[in-house]
Amino acid sequence: MSTGSVLISPAGIEDDDLQMTKVTFWRRLRRHRLAVAGFVVLAFIVLCAVFAPQLSPFDPTYIDPHWQGNPLPPCFVNSSQCAGHILGTDEVGRDLLSRLLFGARISLTVAFFAVVMEVVIGTILGALAGYYGGWVDYVIMRVTDVFLSIPLLPLLLVLTGIVAASSSKASLSFLTIVIIIGALSWPGVARLVRATFLSLREREFAEAARAVGNNDFRIIFRHLLPNAIAPIVVQATLDVANVIVLESTLSFLGFGIQPPTASWGNMLANAQATLEQAWWVAVLPGLCILFTVLAINYIGDGLRDALDPNMR
Amino acid sequence: MILFLILDKAPGGPLAPYLQNPHITPADIARLKHNLGLDQPLPVRYVKWLGQVLRGDLGYSTSNSEPVLQAMLERLPATLELMGASTLIAIVVGIGAGIFSAVRPYTFADYFITTFAFFGQSMPVFWLALMMQLAFAVHGIPLPFGYQIQLPSAGLADNVDSFSLGDRLSHLILPAVVLSVLSLALYSRFMRSSMLEVTQTDYMRTAAAKGLAPRTIIFKHGLKNALIPVVTVIALSLPGLIAGAVVTETIFSWPGMGRLFINALQQEDIALLMGYLCVIAFLVVLFNLLADITYAWLDPRVKYD
């Protein structure tokens, strides 16, 4: 990284850097077989979610007239009673497979948008704290400490409970959940970005960027941020997994996505009551969560190894 | 340093519910105005509330018809019992598994444990609880789940006499195992990587060159050094443990603080919710402090003044 190239093209060096690492990045990632498997599984689940309306044999809110109070069994358990429901029905006679497919949509989109929000807030605040230091850093980090000293789940529960109580509608909208999760989970990202920026701002290229008269905004977003992308991407990936579990827990407890909209979490909410007659109601949505989260965790692990082997 | 840490972190408790205050008040202002004096400006109320909290008065729980502090203290032993048992399981098994796979890296046993740890980390606590119930309660494997013995109103002493330790343990085991899985997976992963790092250091090679038994090397020379980062992880996993306890207590009908919290939530018992958040924030700060102390004990290079 010579100062000469900085003078010729201020932003060029980071691009060159990225070009070089891109090749090694893909090679390393492909070597991580579990991450590749994770990608395949995740791609499959995403496709299922996208094409849920086409793939579903029933409407996810349709109640089968064959239903007599007990969940109908899956066809592979009892083919004479299943009435065409491949994976059986839930406790009120809705097709389980269709609900799983539509549940994938909800669970994945909530996780995706919540993490996007979390990353945007966390990155901006972390960047400001790390770049400016001083009182800006102090204020932002104290707020972060406050958030981190309270476990996320109870805080989320309180907020969703209060929002639900204060809104005139009985149910919480999808958007509300996304905003609440996103607004509360950024401190982790902020800390990470701050730590990265603290070391980046002392590097020569940052000094050079300053020397040639770039303003702070440009230095932060054009020069420093591209170099901080790797840890952010890893953190974001792992957070998608966390948010899926978080959302399912919220919905399970009745404070997340509200029925009749299916989410993997609220499908399990009443499973405890029918556990004795209908294991499939309890097992299948959980397996969906488990494999999705597992796939994403392995991808995150692979990304971490591929982007920077020294990071952990 | 420690003092600084406390002072630094202490606003975490009272400040966080304060951050939520604007959300709370408009929601319930009509119902609660008369007994909370909400017509006063926010800062005034906050200062008054803070003063009460510092005197140990967390307010009055509307859903339980008793002071918040009393309601929580009644349920604290049950929660501590559950969290203590699960932490014990997680530390013993997690660290054991971590060491076990670190001393034989890239073998079948190592891969087995790492995969298991990944599963444990990816599993929602409540689903694991359901599966446990399915296996043990529905399919006849005899382990009681659900209710713990009725909490006596006058202390635990007479309780211990009338119920055997074995009975208590049999009720405790399922919830505790369920709650421990997440931390267990986490600890074993960190222990493994930390131990792997330590085994490559010079002093370990020296110890081996001296002709010490592998067991002595690992446990006497390796363990203490490898534990240092793990201690941080254990302390930092407390928020997760508390969150997990909320879920576990709800599913297993465990009469602890987590279930109290969920009930309060369903009945919109603001004072109790605030009190709960304060108490757990306090616990988290306390544990960070404990971690720092343990740190200094494990690593003499760390000095606080």
Name chain B contacts of A290, Cβ cutoff 8 Å: 119, 122-124, 127
Can you give the pLDDT at residue A243?
92
Q: For residues A178-199, give the mean pLDDT.
A: 88
- Best of B116, B130, B194 to disrupt the A interface (most A CBs within 10 Å) is B130
pTM of the shown model: 0.80
A231-245, A253-267, B283-297: which is most confident: A231-245
Can you give the pLDDT at residue A75?
74
- Best of B174, B265, B276 to disrupt the A interface (most A CBs within 10 Å) is B265
In tens, the pLDDT along A111-163 reads 999 999 999 999 999 999 988 888 888 888 888 877 777 778 888 887 777 77
Can you give the pLDDT at residue A289?
92
Distance CA A41, CA A293 (A): 10
pLDDT band at A82 (very low <50, low <70, confident <90, very high): confident
Q: B188: Cβ–Cβ under 8 A, 6 or more apart, which residues? A: B93, B94, B95, B97, B98, B101, B113, B117
Distance CA A112, CA A236 (A): 9
| Low-confidence residues in chain B, pLDDT < 70 | 1-65, 137-168, 268-270, 302-305
Pairing label, strands B60-61, B66-67: antiparallel
Pick from A151, A275, A298: CB nearest B133 = A275
CB B238 within 8 A of CB B207: no
Q: Which residue of A has its CA nearest to B20?
A: A159
Can you give the pLDDT at residue A296?
92
Name chain B contacts of A248, Cβ cutoff 8 Å: 124, 126-127
B276 touches chain A (CB under 8 A): yes
* Alpha-carbon gap: B280 to the closest alpha carbon of chain A (Å): 7
* Alpha-carbon gap: B199 to the closest alpha carbon of chain A (Å): 17
**Selected residue with higher pLDDT from A49 and B162:** A49
* B28-57 residues touching A, CB cutoff 8 A: 28
- Best of B127, B250, B268, B286 to disrupt the A interface (most A CBs within 10 Å) is B127
SS3 category, A63? strand
Peptide bond into A260 cis (omega under 30): yes
**Selected residue with higher pLDDT from A195 and B171:** A195
Q: DSSP characters for chain B?
A: -HHHHHHHHTTHHHHHHHHHHHHHHHHHHHHHHHHHTTTS-HHHHHHHHHHHHHTT---EETTTTEEHHHHHHHHHHHHHHHHHHHHHHHHHHHHHHHHHHHHSTTSHHHHHHHHHHHHHHHS-HHHHHHHHHIIIIIT------S-PPPPPSS-SHHHHHHS-HHHHHHHHHHHHHHHHHHHHHHHHHHHHHHHHHHHTSHHHHHHHHTT--HHHIIIIIIHHHHHHHHHHHHHHTHHHHHHHHHHHHHHTT--SHHHHHHHHHHTT-HHHHHHHHHHHHHHHHHHHHHHHHHHHHH-TT----
**Interchain pair A153, B246: CB under 8 A:** yes
Can you give the pLDDT at residue B165?
64
- Best of A34, A146, A246, A305 to disrupt the B interface (most B CBs within 10 Å) is A146
**Interchain pair A282, B134: CB under 8 A:** yes
Ranges A165-174, A289-298, B191-200: which has the least confidence: A165-174
CB B138 within 8 A of CB B131: no
Q: DSSP characters for A25-37?
A: HHHHHHH-HHHHH
Sign of the CA dihedral with B186 first, then B192, B197, and B201 last: positive
Can you give the pLDDT at residue A85?
78
**Interchain pair B122, A241: CB under 8 A:** yes
Q: A292 pLDDT exceeds 90?
A: yes
Can you give the pLDDT at residue B139?
61
**Interchain pair B193, A312: CB under 8 A:** yes
In tens, the pLDDT along B199-210 reads 888 888 888 888
* Alpha-carbon gap: A208 to the closest alpha carbon of chain B (Å): 36
Pick from A249, A293, A312: CB nearest B122 = A293
For chain B, give the number of residues: 305
Distance CA A302, CA A261 (A): 34
* Alpha-carbon gap: A86 to the closest alpha carbon of chain B (Å): 22
* Alpha-carbon gap: A2 to the closest alpha carbon of chain B (Å): 34
CB B63 within 8 A of CB B267: yes
Can you give the pLDDT at residue B16?
40
Q: A276: Cβ–Cβ under 8 A, 6 or more apart, which residues? A: B138
Can you give the pLDDT at residue A172?
60
Can you give the pLDDT at residue B58?
58
Can you give the pLDDT at residue A117?
94
Can you give the pLDDT at residue B150?
38
**Interchain pair B127, A149: CB under 8 A:** no
Name chain A contacts of B248, Cβ cutoff 8 Å: none
Interface confidence (ipTM) of the complex: 0.79
Sign of the CA dihedral with A272 first, then A277, A282, and A285 last: negative
Can you give the pLDDT at residue B12?
34
